[in-house]
Amino acid sequence: MIFATALGMGLAAPALAQGEVVVVTGGGLFERGLRENIAASFTKETGIRVRFVASNPGERATKTKAMSEAKRVEWDIVLSSETHARQLSEYIAEGTCQKAQVEKFIVAGGCREFGTLGVIGGLPLVSRSDKFGGKPMQSWADFFNKDFAGPRGLPNYGTPMVVMMPALLADGVPKDKLFPIDYDRAFKVLDRIKPQVVAWWKSGDQSQQLFRSQEIDAGQLWSGRALDLVSEGLPLNVVWDGAPTDEAYWVVLKGAPNVDNAIKFLNFFYTRADGHAGFYATSKWDTANKAYLESIPAADRSVHPGLFLDRMIREDHAWTVANAAEINRRWNEWISR
């Protein structure tokens, strides 16, 4: 028994020495793309195993708070929206971008006090190119124009800003003047097309099905879902101008059990472009790896949200976090009318 135990300890030693890093994402194709194209190479080079945990955004936020307050942190790196990162700032380690030494390898603005910009998507305007007299919508002004009559679909999954910002943009508000939000003005614009909104979708699958079944002619989709439909051959026009960004950050938790390995993972993620194209092919998310974005062939550049950040619009998350209760109250009152 003693010999067997010693042998078992001896066999386990190399694995313990190499260690692991626990990375929390939403799972699915995102995790698969990351595991097969980036994490596998990281493990091969460093010997550090990447253990993935799948969790939806709400669960990630709730468990991060609970683990941190109990001082029993089990996760190292969490993929987080800026809103959740700001709400959970007391539980998130600062300065990870500098510790990982990746400032020159990440896109401009990708280093934040709470983490590093990991992946880039958006919520573009999508319309059928075989409708509207063969002239698909080219802007949010078209979408909120009653002359472009047709059934529409818009998101209602708990983030009203992604709908209200394009409404204000369509009404002539400059993209750098969207905040603080003028609720009355935004709802007045939304009232124009509310009767034509046949579905307020709550999931990516639902949003895609609305187009596949031809229930809607135009709408707003997560970019990955929109690009999936384009790859299926649906006659769709995707407009990036004025699309709200859909960005997620790698945040390292305070008290993370493998903080050194987390920093090594982030350094690997940003200093090596190999595998990032494969990750996009699987997930339809671009990464914030500057070298990868610069390497995208000219013929493919129209379907990469990471190349349109300067044409998209960003939410003022500091403002929306501070005004969350009022935003939700006003939105719920309007949509229930």
Domains 2-120+246-295 and 124-243+313-335 share a fold: yes
Residues 87-141 have pLDDT tens digits of 999 999 999 999 999 999 999 999 999 999 999 999 999 999 999 988 889 999 9
pLDDT band at 162 (very low <50, low <70, confident <90, very high): very high
Q: What pLDDT is stored for residue 136 in this prediction?
A: 84
Task: Classify burial at 311, counting beta carbons within 10 Å of its beta carbon; exposed 0-12, middle 13-18, buried 19 or more.
Answer: middle
**Whether residue 8 has pLDDT greater than 60:** no
Residues 203-261 have pLDDT tens digits of 989 999 999 999 999 999 999 999 999 999 999 999 999 999 999 999 999 999 999 99
Percentage of the chain modeled with pLDDT above 90: 89
Q: What pLDDT is stored for residue 129 in this prediction?
A: 94
What are the distances in angstroms from CA 32 to CA 54, 117, 159, 169?
A: 11, 19, 26, 36
Q: What pLDDT is stored for residue 14 in this prediction?
A: 36
Amino acid at site 228 = D
Q: Average pLDDT, whole number, for the chain?
A: 93
Question: Domain 2-120+246-295 is of which CATH architecture?
Answer: 3-Layer(aba) Sandwich (3.40)
What pTM does this model have?
0.87
What are the sequence ranges of the domains in the chain? 2-120+246-295, 124-243+313-335
Cα 152 to Cα 210: distance, rounded to the nearest angstrom: 9
State the distance between the two ends of the chain, measured CA to CA, in whole angstroms: 73
**Whether residue 69 has pLDDT greater than 80:** yes
**Whether residue 173 has pLDDT greater than 60:** yes
Whether 192 and 96 have beta carbons less than 8 Å apart is answered as: no
pLDDT band at 268 (very low <50, low <70, confident <90, very high): very high
Domain boundaries 124-243+313-335, CATH class: alpha beta
177-190: average pLDDT: 98
The residue length of the chain stands at 337
Residues 11-55 have pLDDT tens digits of 333 344 479 999 999 999 999 999 999 999 999 999 999 999 999
Among 297, 298, 281, 280, smallest CA distance to 289 is for: 280
pLDDT band at 147 (very low <50, low <70, confident <90, very high): confident
